[in-house]
Amino acid sequence: DFLAALEEVPPAFGVSEAELQQCVQNHIIPFSPHIEQILADGKLYVDQVRQSSRTPVVSLLVHGPAGSGKTAIAATIALESEFPFIKLISPETMVGMTESAKIAEISKVFNDSYKSPLSVIVIDNIERLVDWVPIGPRFSNAILQAILVLIKKKPPKDRRLLIVGTTTERNVLDQMDMADAFNSQIYVPTITTLEGIDIVLQQLGLFSDAERKRTMSLLSQAGMENKIAIGVKKLLMVIEMARQDADKIEKFVNTLISL
């Protein structure tokens, strides 16, 4: 039965660990308590899949503003499950494929997962996978329909699956009846406090401690306390740009203020 099947699977079967590791290249910096809460929730869903036979498929939509860290978080949940089958479906590996080749690829990942007792599939950047563009609007209905069906499809007996999707366009997915097709949703916020900025700066080592304090006080004087709302990915970019400049503090502070 289920436990027996679990043992038969060679541990490394179907893991795309390298690709997923690359998504957390700059680690998960705990810039606010939300981040820890999100990862804890993720573990609960992993447990449900591992233990309940009544809900063999559980699906989770990770959404939030551009650059807020959705992909890194989805990858972290997937990697920490240590399930024998962990796969990433991403538009980046499908550039230039025809619509039907993309659907075949997506289907294959699901069919492969049905061979493992426990699986996680990360579907990254769903709006891009379905070729969404707001002008028109236009999108690939064929890919959309395939995903809609696959995330609700029950795996065969004694097979269990966690699906983690990510998107910047939750409203769009809502209008496509896709948000509803997920069992749960997790919101990933931007950094909205100076403390959050401070934590990231500390981690990245752009400034000495003195410089960092000056920076924070400059931002505070500029009244940024209640105005800040920057994705962690964008913040990393600003930090690296500032690093090239002669006057790093000025560059960093000015860029943040002018956003």
Ligand X SMILES: Nc1ncnc2c1ncn2[C@@H]1O[C@H](COP(=O)(O)OP(=O)(O)OP(=O)(O)O)[C@@H](O)[C@H]1O
Kindly list the residues in this chain that would bind ligand X in the complex (CB under 6 A).
24-29, 31, 35, 66-73, 125, 168, 232-233, 236
Peptide bond into 137 cis (omega under 30): yes
User: Is position 199 an interface residue for a second copy (rule: CB under 8 A)?
Assistant: no
* Residue of 17, 82, 245, 247 interacting with a second copy (CB under 8 A): 245
**In this structure, what token pair is assigned to residue 51?**
């233990």
Cα separation, 52 vs 17, in Å, equals 26
Of 89 and 144, the one with the shorter C-beta distance to a second copy is: 144
146: helix, coil or strand? Answer: helix
Q: Is there binding between residue 103 and a second copy (CB under 8 A)?
A: yes
Comparing CB distances to a second copy, the nearer of 222 and 241 is: 241
CB-based contact 182:59 (threshold 8 Å): yes
Give contact residues for Mg ion (rule: CB under 5 A): 71
Interacting residue with a second copy among 34, 115, 128, 248 (CB under 8 A): 128
Among 138, 222, 227, 259, binds a second copy (CB under 8 A): 138
Task: Compare residues 35 and 57 and give the one whose CB is closer to ligand X.
Answer: 35
Q: Cα separation of 236 and 191, whole Å?
A: 12
- Whole-number minimum distance, CB 29 to a second copy, in Å? 12
Interface with a second copy, residue 52, by CB under 8 A: yes
What residues contact residue 234 under an 8 Å CB cut-off, 6+ apart?
A: 66, 67
CA–CA separation, 39 and 188 (whole Å): 11
In the shown chain, the binding pattern of residues 11 to 40 toward a second copy, with x for contact by CB under 8 A and - for none, equals: -----------x--xx--------------
Instruction: Say which amino acid occupies 205.
Output: G
Q: Specify the amino acid at residue 55.
A: T
Q: State the Cα–Cα distance between residues 239 and 201, nearest whole angstrom.
A: 8
Binding flag, residue 259, a second copy (CB under 8 A) = no
First to last CA, the chain: 57
Residue 168: how many other CB atoms lie within 10 Å: 20
Q: How far is the CB of 150 from ligand X (least distance, A)?
A: 14
Residue 27: name its binding partner from a second copy, ligand X, Mg ion, none (Cβ under 5 to 8 Å by kind): ligand X
Q: In Å, what is the CA distance from 124 to each residue of 23, 44, 63, 69?
A: 10, 21, 10, 12
**Binds 226: which of Mg ion, ligand X, a second copy, none (CB < 5-8 Å by kind):** none
Burial class (CB in 10 A: 0-12, 13-18, 19+), 71: buried
Interface residues toward a second copy, by CB under 8 A = 22, 25-26, 44-45, 47-48, 51-52, 54-55, 58, 66, 91-92, 95-96, 98, 100, 103-104, 107, 128, 131, 133-139, 141-142, 144-146, 148-150, 152-154, 157, 172, 175-177, 180, 183, 204, 236-237, 239-241, 243-245
